[in-house]
């Protein structure tokens, strides 16, 4: 049987996280905590996390073994899997034992579900007054919309993100990743870390609540104040910034490049490099360039029309103008810069063998600039891989 883990090296070494969540927001949060060294025990229903069935793509290990969903693999590295049927008294008792030992519990049930299972907030804190409980819902834990189920695309629409994304006002688009799920998980981790720090002072735990709706609204940034202060309703504008110009994607001889010209000095450098008049009355100030955006795009694309993208990027770099490519994911994961930043990790999956996963976004260094020992990443677990080992550990068999 697979051995129970003790967590990894890192700032959260020694922290025990019980992950009751499924799908993405909660599992992503728990995985981030695992990346920082916490031991994460993922509690799954007998049918497993929903995302084990989300595909294609699936990977088929052969020998009659069940297919593995790449979706599940994306959010569950560095975890142990234990199957518990929380409708039974025996498995409820196992969860109670886990809660007593836990530092953090992560859940993303609809409000009221844990209460019906006998693990409401009061019961959890009776078991463990020092527990930090991270609870993620779709639309918040209270208010008129609290009972609604939370799914990312619905939250992207309801939070206004889709209204600002797309080729134009009549083309609302979701993002290419489940951004509300991911941000809810990230926001939850921030709250957990703050609560753990406060527990060091007070000795008591607390509840951290967030939602997919909060995640979407929390990243409105300048688009939010365009409405709340400026009384201007943002609309989708394609690949060009609504308040900075030129800032977006521009066609060239064999494709496109992206520019970010955020200051008068950068505008002059760009014009000098490509024979344009920086003082042209249509484009002299950022306000002029934004108001005359269509004309600006046309002028730059005429200047770039005969230049291949590689040459164009080289010339922009020489001029000191921020620019970049639009990469496909295969190009991203083959990029040496991604490799250098630890943004992909190789793990040995018990059924699939060696697989490559996206890596964690954080790195830690000592004051001398030496990278501190990294987590020894483990593959996402197969269903109930650690069930026997965790039960033995709870019963006091430390060799398991």
Q: What is the pLDDT of residues 139-164, one digit of tens each?
A: 999 999 999 998 999 999 999 999 99
232 in a domain, yes or no? Answer: no
Q: Other C-beta atoms within 10 Å of 399: how many?
A: 8
pLDDT average, residue stretch 64-73: 93
1 in a domain, yes or no? Answer: no
Strand-pairing partners, residue 210, are 136
Question: Which residue is catalytic, options 171, 181, 280, 330?
Answer: 181
pLDDT score recorded for residue 63: 85
- CA–CA distance, 17 with 14 (Å, rounded to integer): 10
63 and 135, same domain (yes or no):
yes
CATH number at residue 273: 3.30.1540.10
- CA–CA distance, 240 with 166 (Å, rounded to integer): 11
Whether the pLDDT of residue 400 is over 50: the answer is: no
- CA–CA distance, 69 with 80 (Å, rounded to integer): 17
Nearest to 214 by CA among 163, 121, 146, 133: 146
Nearest to 85 by CA among 117, 40, 107: 117
Q: Report CA dihedral (39, 70, 391, 102) to the nearest 10 degrees.
A: 30
181 is catalytic: yes
174: left (phi over 0), alpha (psi -120 to 50) or beta: beta
179 in a domain, yes or no? Answer: yes
Give CA separation, 200 vs 34, 84, 132, 229, in Å: 20, 31, 12, 40
313 and 164, same domain (yes or no):
no
pLDDT in tens, 342-395: 999 999 999 999 999 999 999 999 999 999 877 789 999 999 999 999 999 999
- CA–CA distance, 279 with 271 (Å, rounded to integer): 9
- Structural domain for 136, as ranges: 16-219+341-394
Q: Three-state SS for 332?
A: helix
CATH number at residue 372: 3.40.50.10540
Whether the pLDDT of residue 100 is over 60: the answer is: yes
pLDDT score recorded for residue 1: 56
101 and 212, same domain (yes or no):
yes
Counting the structural domains of the chain, the total is 2
Which of 284, 304, 329 is the last residue before a domain boundary? 329
pTM: 0.92
Strand-pairing partners, residue 80, are 41
Whether the pLDDT of residue 34 is over 80: the answer is: yes
């Amino acid at each position: 049987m697979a051995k129970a883990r003790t967590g990894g090296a890192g700032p959260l070494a020694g922290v025990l996280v019980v992950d009751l969540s499924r799908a993405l927001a909660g599992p992503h949060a728990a995985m981030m905590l695992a990346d920082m060294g916490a031991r994460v025990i993922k509690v799954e229903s007998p049918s497993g996390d929903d995302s084990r069935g989300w595909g294609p793509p699936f990977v088929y290990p052969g020998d009659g073994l069940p297919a593995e969903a790449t979706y599940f693999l994306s959010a569950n590295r560095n975890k142990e899997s234990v199957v518990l049927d929380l409708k039974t008294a025996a498995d409820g008792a196992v969860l109670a034992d886990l809660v007593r030992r836990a530092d953090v519990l992560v859940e993303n049930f609809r409000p009221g579900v844990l209460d019906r299972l006998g693990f409401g907030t009061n019961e959890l804190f009776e078991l463990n007054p020092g527990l930090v409980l991270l609870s993620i819902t779709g639309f918040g834990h209270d208010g008129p919309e609290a009972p609604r189920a939370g799914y990312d695309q619905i939250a992207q629409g309801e939070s206004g993100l889709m209204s600002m994304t797309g080729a134009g006002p009549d083309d609302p688009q979701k993002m290419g990743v489940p951004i509300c799920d991911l941000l809810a998980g990230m926001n939850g981790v921030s709250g957990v870390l703050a609560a753990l720090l406060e527990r060091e002072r007070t000795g008591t735990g607390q509840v951290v609540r967030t939602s997919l709706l909060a995640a979407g609204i929390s990243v409105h940034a300048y688009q939010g104040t365009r409405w709340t202060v400026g009384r201007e309703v943002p609309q989708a504008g394609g690949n060009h910034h609504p308040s900075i110009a030129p800032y977006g994607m521009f066609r060239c001889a064999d494709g496109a490049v992206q520019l970010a010209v955020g200051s008068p000095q950068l505008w002059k450098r760009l014009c000098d490099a490509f024979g344009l008049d920086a003082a042209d009355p249509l484009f002299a100030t950022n306000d002029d360039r934004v108001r005359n955006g269509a004309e600006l795009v046309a002028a730059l694309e005429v200047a770039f029309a005969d230049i291949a993208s590689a040459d164009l990027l080289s010339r922009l770099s020489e001029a000191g103008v921020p620019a970049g490519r639009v990469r496909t994911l295969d190009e991203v994961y083959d990029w040496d810069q991604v490799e250098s930043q630890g943004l992909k990790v190789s793990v040995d999956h018990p059924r699939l063998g060696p697989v490559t996963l996206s890596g964690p976004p954080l790195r830690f260094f000592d004051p001398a600039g030496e990278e501190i020992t990294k987590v020894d990443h483990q593959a996402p677990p197969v269903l109930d891989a650690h069930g026997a080992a965790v039960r033995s550990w709870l019963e006091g068999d430390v060799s398991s």
